[in-house]
């Protein structure tokens, strides 16, 4: 073999050695990058699982491993349905199903919520995103499951639904009370007119009616008080007739009541209407009352005054609670609206108004079509409304364009509101901004795909 051939062979060998060295270096860098990426994914704050179509687990990060039974040890290669501690997919109709439902052909991306149990016997709610992966020829390879803990969100939604139910019950109770009060007040008015002709009938009514009644002289001295009035003030009949009605008023309210009384006396047709406090002289309890006083005249001569006192202590407490619930809903960052059966906005909270760049009176009372157009209503909304009015909870996630917020990814829930006869009278629509969660998911999916390509 001549020197030229030896030199040529030596160059080939050197080139091969250099290529081997380069390949080793690239392999080392690839392994390093894979190790770093796997560490990032393994320590991620989301539940990440890689699964083949026969449900065998190929990878699960640290957080995802808290969902598996400890007796199986290493779960790689195990069947997902066998190693899960417990859990099922939750549907809008309240029924659950096994995870295998999402792995059936055709392979496609999907989102769903599941109720899971962890190694610490903790029940959690997870929002999953399932994404199929294919090779260059389009053959299915595996699924990537990415889940986020939404337990706090579920608890808040449950609390809001509970508060709404309480508010509806309280509203119904208030309507019933108001109706009874109106009926009782009307009965009082009718009775007072008739009792002016018969003192006996007046006294019988005064003993049984659930309102305080008093009649005073033009100077303000009582000449008649009924039993309810005496019990409310904690005084006997003699004391009630000796003193005027101002003496039973709570000390801190006496000045304002006296001022209102003197102002009412200056008007041509005297009418006193005020809420204030009474203090019971026996028990020391304080009551919130609503008093209406009118003058009694005969042939333009002032005979005195007749007054009706209603104990509104419990009603005021209910109203205070309702005001608190109203503040919670109005100041919530979640967009809320109440929709009638004819798709009309009955009420919206401040977040809803702010997002759409409108004023509340420009939304409430108008239909969905009037505000957002018939095309959007028919294409995307009508079917969901009709499902919810059948008594189903409808939930979906979608991108929306808002006047003030721009393009946002929203989680939307339609919740039926039942009337007294079990018929859905209206819908509450709750819209939660989960754009950050969606963008984080998209970024993570992009990172996983880039790592898999590497």
**Nearest partner of 48 among 35, 66, 27, judged by Cα:** 66
CA distances from 193 to 196, 223, 227, 305, 310 (A): 6, 18, 20, 14, 19
Angle at 304 between CA 303 and CA 310, to 5 degrees: 145
DSSP letter at 133 equals E
pTM more than 0.75 = no
Instruction: Give the HSE-up count for residue 407: Cα atoms under 13 Å, Cβ half-sphere.
Output: 4
- Ranges of H-type helices in 79-218: 80-83, 151-195, 199-208
pLDDT > 70 fraction of the chain, expressed in percent and rounded: 76
Q: What is the mean pLDDT of the chain?
A: 77
Q: Which helix (H) or strand (E) holds 237?
A: helix 237-242
**pLDDT surpasses 60 at 199:** no
Give residue-wise pLDDT tens across range 377-429. 888 888 888 898 888 998 888 887 766 667 888 888 898 888 777 888 888 88
Q: Residues in the chain, how many?
A: 454
Q: How far apart are CA 192 and CA 414, in angstroms?
A: 51
Q: How far apart are CA 339 and CA 95, in angstroms?
A: 26
User: Which pairs with CB-CB distance under 8 Å and at least 24 residues apart come from 43-48?
Assistant: 44/444, 46/146, 46/147, 46/148, 46/444, 47/126, 47/128, 47/145, 47/146, 47/147, 47/148, 47/149, 48/144, 48/145, 48/146, 48/147, 48/444
**Overall average pLDDT of the 84-98 stretch:** 55
Give residue-wise pLDDT tens across range 292-320. 888 888 777 888 888 888 888 777 776 66
Considering Cα of 17, then 21, then 26, then 32, what sign does the dihedral take? positive
Q: What are phi and psi of 157, to 5 degrees?
A: -65, -40
**pLDDT surpasses 60 at 175:** yes
As a 3-state breakdown, the chain gives helix, strand, coil percent values, each rounded to 5, of: 45, 30, 25
Q: What are phi and psi of 32, to 5 degrees?
A: -65, -45
Q: Band of the pLDDT at 103, cuts 50, 70, 90?
A: low
pLDDT at 318: 64
* CA of residue 179 relative to chain centroid, distance: 29
Q: Which helix (H) or strand (E) holds 62?
A: helix 62-65
């Amino acid at each position: 073999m001549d020197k030229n051939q030896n030199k040529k062979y030596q160059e080939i060998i050197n080139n091969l050695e250099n290529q081997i060295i380069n390949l080793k270096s690239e392999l080392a860098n690839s392994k390093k990058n894979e190790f770093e990426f796997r560490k990032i994914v393994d320590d991620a704050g989301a539940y990440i699982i890689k699964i083949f179509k026969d449900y065998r687990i190929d990878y699960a990060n640290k957080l995802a491993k808290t969902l598996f039974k400890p007796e199986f040890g290493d779960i790689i290669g195990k069947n997902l349905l066998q190693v899960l501690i417990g859990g099922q997919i939750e549907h809008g109709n309240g029924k659950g199903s096994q995870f295998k439902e999402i792995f059936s052909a055709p392979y496609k991306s999907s989102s769903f919520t599941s109720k899971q149990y962890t190694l610490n016997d903790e029940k959690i709610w997870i929002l999953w995103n399932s994404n199929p992966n294919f090779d260059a020829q389009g053959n299915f390879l595996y699924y990537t499951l990415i889940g986020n803990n939404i337990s706090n969100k579920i608890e808040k939604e449950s609390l809001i639904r509970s508060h709404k139910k309480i508010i509806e019950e309280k509203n119904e109770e208030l309507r019933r009370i108001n109706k009874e009060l109106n009926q009782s007040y009307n009965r009082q008015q009718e009775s007072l007119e008739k009792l002016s002709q018969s003192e006996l009938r007046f006294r019988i009514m005064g003993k049984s009616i659930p309102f305080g009644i008093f009649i005073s002289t033009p100077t303000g001295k009582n000449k008649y008080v009924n039993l309810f009035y005496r019990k409310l003030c904690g005084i006997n009949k003699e004391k009630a007739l000796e003193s005027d009605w101002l003496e039973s008023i709570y000390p801190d309210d006496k000045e304002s009541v006296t001022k209102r009384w003197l102002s009412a006396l200056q008007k041509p047709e005297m009418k006193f209407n005020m809420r204030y406090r009474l203090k019971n002289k026996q028990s020391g309890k304080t009551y919130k009352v609503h008093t209406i006083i009118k003058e009694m005249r005969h042939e333009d001569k002032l005979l005195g005054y007749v007054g009706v006192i209603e104990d509104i202590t419990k009603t005021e407490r209910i109203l205070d609670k309702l005001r608190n619930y109203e503040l919670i809903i109005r100041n919530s960052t979640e967009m809320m609206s109440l929709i009638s059966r004819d798709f009309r906005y009955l009420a919206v909270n401040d977040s809803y108004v702010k997002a759409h760049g409108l004023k509340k009176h420009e939304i409430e009372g108008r239909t969905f079509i009037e505000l957002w157009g018939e095309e959007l209503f028919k294409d995307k909304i009508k079917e969901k409304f009709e499902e919810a009015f059948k008594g189903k909870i409808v939930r979906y996630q979608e991108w929306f364009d808002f006047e003030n917020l721009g393009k946002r990814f929203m989680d939307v829930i339609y919740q039926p509101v039942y009337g007294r006869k079990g018929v859905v009278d209206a819908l509450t629509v709750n819209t939660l901004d989960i754009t950050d969660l969606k963008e984080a998911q998209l970024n993570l999916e992009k990172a996983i795909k880039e790592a898999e390509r590497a």
